Structure 1
């Protein structure tokens, strides 16, 4: 029987490996990056604190018995037995546990320092509202064919975009020249039948080309100005930074090199009229999906979003069905973290936007939200309880009265103190799945 020589076997193996290098391999294993995972470990504490904080602020007095808060936390926020009390005691800079003078039970309320962070974050949201309007307009343009998205989907990502909780009134309805609320006549009461649509007014003074320019295109433009003709090869390239320990073979490097030079259509361009049956068109569409997710993350305040929230835009923006495998295929551009919410949510980071666990270009709202994490990380041994109790005694007016505690905490000027500390975060991160 005829057998092939070792030389022929080696040559066929090399040819077969080289033929597989024309596209980036699929089904890659995730390589952990502890810098991003540590960010999500802090985010886990912030998320838990925000759940408790929102329930406290829903009370007229801004305070609640610890036993009642424990029941709510165990039922709705996956706290374990006795876990709520331990969490409150571990973070005395945020929660003040005290003995009620009449009922003789342990009650809890926010400290003035936590209330101050709530006020300062609210100020940051208001000051960045024009930028949030611009981000929402670009988000609608990413749905290139219809230029509209479901109101419920926008509501789920409102904190990611830096929108206020009442964005429907303060942003959508307050700017009829930018947005249009479309309600289905067949199901007027169904929230899934309400859409926010992009309005292109010729007299609004805004250039549509400026809205349809991606963040990666601005980065390439800066590189071209710095490098000149040497940046011609990066005309369609993305910034790639693989996680530590990621193995890059020879043929994988060739595949990435070819992929970086592959032309693609802009995420803001309507491709419904193109013939997408050829192999070249399918490869361009795959790269366009990468650009779409890249642009979606670039529009967020913290340059990250859960995979479940990205998946809700799958149909409107033409994203792949197997989103997790698709993201793992491009680990040099995105980082996929399972930390932060007991594995129920999966957070996607834009790698180029972070350095050593922090944003390269922080904004006012990001800095305000980060301060709550710093407050939670403070050691309880360093809490000056006497000073905090004295501050609570002088600022208790904010917790009294018949109206809601949140508006009083935000509007009370007497709680501002010269502690050289910025705001925390009052915006909760939803932990439910997106269908």
Structure 2
């Protein structure tokens, strides 16, 4: 990793810094800049990019399914879906999508208006209906996990409050069901309270009671497990792993070493007393982002989505720089034209290590898709074989025709 500016460890900076003045090293005549202002060269990680690319087709199918299920009666005229292709990022015709995914929808004819001509409609297949029932079962089975995740998000937030709209926006990233706000608030009034004006789109979810069992980060729990296993007290800290071929320059190694030696700051601790530009706040910011990614389904979240929570989690406007500055902890993927923050320790090459129990929903959906894709392949294969047989029969019949005699 390359730096464009001279770096020096925080211990030296702290001894030279006086109030808000920028210190100068007399022997070198150089101004010392905080590490947060340094430019870091980004390096591509092909394996982690592949992990994101693998979900491309799955996400497209999930978007289209969501679009249809949100319609009245969960049916939609095919031509209406065609008009929404650009918004759904469909690169081919809607009918082609249906034919390519026979396990999702079936086409039938109905009238849009009582006296209009029948047109093609889409509706979920019985197999998709069965998947939706299974999805609800998995959500119910993992409800304690969902509740703990939602509590932890609120416990890390300033004033223990988060906009309801923002939570709805990230429900897929953390594995929350569609009706989580209505269902969980009613079922767990000891944890959650909805405040504000929902009818005006200004509602907020507030934490009612602090559960100390939830107030331990992934890093703290890992340290406790290591302590119990080894009998030696393990200090909570980040797991820094650089991919093969990724090197740090000497000054960055020294800074990383010094930074890791600082005390870990739990994302569940009150950070209101920390200065936004302090090294402690950077340590806390990295801890919060690490915990957010740990709570997410795929241990990765698009940076623009994380950016929506700058106020709630006390992120600075330049918070995204931590992903490149701490490249042994995070990876910043540019795949798909969007920046995605990935937790390195959660992946081995392009595969997740420990899997969130709620990923069972994704696995079921992928199995449903693959079943349909295989059916289509088999159907196309039979069609090709039939065409080949018809061709052979035609050639054989021509070869048996008597030759026409020109003269007797």
Measure how far apart 1:65 and its partner are: 4.4
What is the distance in 2 between the residues matched to 1:133 and 1:317?
19
Q: Which of the pair has the greater relative contact order for Cα pairs under 8 Å at 6+ separation?
A: 1
TM-superposed CA distance for 1:47, in Å, is 2.1
Secondary structure at 2:130's aligned position in 1? Answer: helix
Quick one: which of 118, 135, 140 aligns to 1:126?
Answer: 140
1:33 correspondence with 2:59: no
Structure 1 pair 19–305 and aligned structure 2 pair: CA distance change class (3 A): closer
Q: Structure 2: which 5+ residue stretches go unaligned?
A: 12-33, 112-116, 380-408
Alpha-carbon distance change, 240 to 379 in structure 1, aligned in 2, over 3 angstroms = farther
For residues 372-402 of structure 1, the C-alpha deviation after alignment (integer angstroms, 9 at most, x for no partner) is 335545784653777xxxxxxxxxxxxxxxx
Which of 209, 213, 219 is the matching residue for 1:200? 209
TM-score (norm 2): 0.74
User: Of residues 149, 158, 163 in structure 2, which corresponds to 1:135?
Assistant: 149
Residue equivalent to 1:70: 82
1:78–1:37 Cα change, 3 Å: same
> Paired residue for 1:149?
162
Q: Which residue of 2 aligns with 1:288?
A: 284
* Aligned residue number for residue 10 of structure 1: none
Change (3 A) 1:225 1:58: closer
Asked if 1:218 corresponds to 2:237, the answer is no
| Structure having the higher Rg | 2
* Distance in 1 of aligned mates of 2:47 and 2:123: 33
For residue 173 of structure 1, give the secondary structure of its aligned residue in structure 2. Answer: helix
Match of 1:84 in 2: 94
Q: Distance in 2 between matches of 1:169 and 1:373?
A: 28
- After the TM superposition, which residues 231-246 of structure 1 pair with which residues of structure 2 at under 5 Å, given as runs? 232=234, 235-246=235-246
CA shift, 1:100, in A, is 4.7
Question: Equivalents in 1 of 2:44, 2:129: separation in Å?
Answer: 36
Deviation at 1:136, TM superposition (A): 0.9
Q: Distance in 1 between matches of 2:146 and 2:287?
A: 21
State whether structure 2 residue 8 is matched by structure 1 residue 19: yes
Q: Is 1:171 aligned with 2:184?
A: yes
**Which of 339, 343, 352 is the matching residue for 1:346?**
339
SS in 1 for 2:54: helix
Report the more deviating stretch, 99-108 or 241-250.
Answer: 99-108
| Paired positions, count | 347
In 1: Cα distance, 2:162 partner to 2:74 partner: 36
- Residue 182 of structure 1 contacts residue 197 of structure 1 at CA under 8 Å; is this kept in 2? yes
The reply to whether residue 321 of structure 1 matches residue 317 of structure 2 is yes
Matched with 2:376 is: 383
Q: Are the aligned partners of 1:33 and 1:244 in contact in 2 as well (CA < 8 Å)?
A: no
Choose 324-333 or 247-256, whichever is displaced more. Answer: 247-256
What residue in structure 1 maps to residue 332 of structure 2? 336
Aligned to 1:310: 306
- Quote how far apart the aligned CAs of 1:236 are: 4.3
How many angstroms does 1:299 deviate by? 2.0
- Distance in 1 (CA, whole Å) between partners of 2:369 and 2:119 is 25
The 8 Å contact of residues 138 and 360 in structure 2, kept in 1 or not, is answered as no
Distance change (3 Å), C-alpha of 1:173 and 1:382 = closer
Matched, 1:370 2:363: yes
SS of 2:243's equivalent in the other structure is coil
TM-score by length of 1: 0.70
**What are the superposed Cα offsets for residues 97-156 of structure 1, whole Å, 9 maximum, x if unpaired?**
x5759978665444444333332222211211121111111111101x411111111111
